[in-house]
Structure 1
Amino acid sequence: MAVRSAVFHRVVDALDEVERAEGNEYTAFSVRGKRFGYYWPRTETVGLKQTLTEQQALVSERPAVFEEQFSSGGFGWVVVHLAGIDADELAELVYEAWRLSAPEELVAEAPFSR
């Protein structure tokens, strides 16, 4: 069930107009200047933007996999432990984080838009 960090990076690379910002301890991901995710290689965790409702649902359903990171601007961020998630679920969460930050016209052009 564990997802390797390479899988996470492939999922992110499949999204349009993703910008990376390398830090000392993490990499941040944005779309057109709006942040949607983080990756921490030391802990093999990712932080993803979600709705407040989704944040609460994920954390309450599987606290060993998801942690509340913070809430800001009407969004809830979650920490995802890659060791506890499968690739399909991770891809859905990454896409949702990207979608919440991307402009509507970019989302409409996405080949896997919902």
Structure 2
Amino acid sequence: MVTVADVRALARTLPRSSEHLIRDRVKFRVGAIVYVAFSRDETTMGFGYPKEERDGLIAAEPDLFFLPRPSDLRFHWVCCHTARLDHDHMVELVTEAWRMVVPKFLARQRLDG
């Protein structure tokens, strides 16, 4: 199970990342772009993910991943159940979501580091 504290600990290591509480929801963003957001009850986590790949992700693990609400389908976004997400998978998903929103040189530095 993954918690907000787990994501917070990782996000603090990611350059330009900041945490915000918006309408009682914890969100992590770079500048104005949100790359991870939790539901109010923290049972689900949404994160940046390529639109063209999300159907495959959901099909591979339908008990873990699901589509965002219809109004968010236009974004590069997918959601998951935090109780079913393990720590290593969270690190991969959050880091990749962050890499989608930072300048390429920062993403390369993180990958090479």
TM (norm. structure 1) is 0.82
Runs of 5+ consecutive residues of structure 2 not aligned to the other structure = none
The CA distance in 2 between the partners of 1:64 and 1:43, in whole Å, is 17
- The structure with more strand, counted as a fraction of residues: 1
- Aligned counterparts, 1:57-76, within 5 A: 57-69=56-68, 70-72=72-74, 75=76
Give structure 1 regions of 4+ aligned residues with deviation exceeding 3 angstroms.
Answer: none
May I ask how many residue pairs the two structures share in their alignment?
Answer: 110
Which residue matches 1:108? 108
Matched-pair identity in %: 24
Which residue matches 1:35? 34
The reply to whether residue 86 of structure 1 matches residue 86 of structure 2 is: yes
Runs of 5+ consecutive residues of structure 1 not aligned to the other structure = none
1:61-103 Cα shifts (integer Å, max 9, x gaps): 1222111113335x2x111111111100110000110001111
Shift in Å, 1:52: 1.8
Shift in Å, 1:109: 2.4
User: Aligned-residue CA RMSD in angstroms?
Assistant: 2.0
TM (norm. structure 2) is 0.82
